Amino acid sequence: MRTPKPLPEMFRGRDFTVAEAKVAGISSSRLRRSDLDAPFRGIRSPTGSLSTADLTHAESAENYWDALRAMALARAAAYAPALDPRAAFSHLTAAKAHGFPLRSAQMRDLEVHVSTATREARPRARGVTAHFSPRDLRAVVMASGLRVTTPVQTWVALSGNMSTVELVGIGDHLLRRKRPDATLGQLQRAVDRAAGRHGVKRLREALELIRPRTDSVRETQVRLLLTDAGLPEPRVNAPLHDLEGRFIRHGDMVYPEYGVLVEYDGEQHRTDDEQYHRDKRQLEQLIAAGWIVVHVLKADMRDHAGVAQRVRRALHARGWR
């Protein structure tokens, strides 16, 4: 097979529309050659790009979840040249651009979501879901190289298809301890503006349960399972001190009045030796200072009742009834 003629330099190694290629004098036959793929109608991408990869690519990748996110964002980037100026990527696409914590099925969903300010701007392409959402486009931002709805407005938009617990997890993520994307006041105002929207009831329920300064969605899940089991709500990322009052670390979920600490041990404890040894030394200091430490592992989350019972026993040992 004859090697395709090189494209003009401005089209090499990037996604582009068929329309702009035609204006540049590129023929229809050249656009059908083997070095180009068509991830969407009217779009061409370099062959082998992530925009046309399927789920088997992620299954063979070193990090499955990172690969899924990269594929979803590559598909959005491929569609970006066709994106109407009155539109922006939204919903799950924006959630992945912002790095929201999502469940497995949502990460494997590679559909591209676009919200538009006018019905005329709605895209009509296989693999693209259009949403007529003028309110969502009052402000847009750039994230992961894409024009997307803001983190807070993306959270609001997801309420139509997410559970209250999922919305709490994302809300906690927005208010996380390090580099938060929003404040509780901003979430409250966004929920107030969402009156009459499908999913607003779940947003209001989630708002009551969201807590600032949480470090991970797993910590959120542990906190919610404890309160669902009738246990008192722990403080999130509260400072911990030794017997002399010296600061040791922030605790994931803390019952300061009972001297009980609940720690979720994530993957970093297993894969980062330095973090593991630092945590081990700090926990030894906490135990010496009289704290009862309850460790929760990923595998423990299959048994919510078991986790709650362990924390209940620790609280009972310190006088809670």
d(C-alpha 202, C-alpha 155), whole Å: 11
What is the pLDDT, as a whole number, of residue 267? Answer: 64
What is the pLDDT, as a whole number, of residue 183? Answer: 97
Beta-carbon contacts of 174 under 8 Å, excluding residues fewer than 6 positions away, are 151, 152, 155, 180, 181, 182, 187
What is the pLDDT, as a whole number, of residue 276? Answer: 81
What is the pLDDT, as a whole number, of residue 3? Answer: 84
Per-residue pLDDT of the chain in tens (321 residues, 90 and over written 9) = 578 889 999 999 999 999 999 999 999 999 999 999 999 999 999 999 999 999 999 999 999 999 999 999 999 999 999 999 999 999 999 999 999 999 999 999 999 999 999 999 899 899 999 999 999 999 999 999 999 999 999 999 999 999 999 999 999 999 999 999 999 999 999 999 999 999 999 999 999 999 999 999 999 999 999 999 999 999 999 999 998 999 999 999 999 999 999 999 876 555 677 888 888 899 999 999 999 999 999 999 999 999 999 999 999 999 998
- In the sheet that holds 16-17, the strands lie side by side as 16-17, 43-46, 36-37
What is the pLDDT, as a whole number, of residue 271? Answer: 62
d(C-alpha 7, C-alpha 18), whole Å: 13
User: Are 7 and 17 in contact, with CB atoms under 8 Å apart?
Assistant: no
Tokens 């036959």 locate to 29
Q: What angle do CA 100, 102, 106 make, to 5 degrees?
A: 125
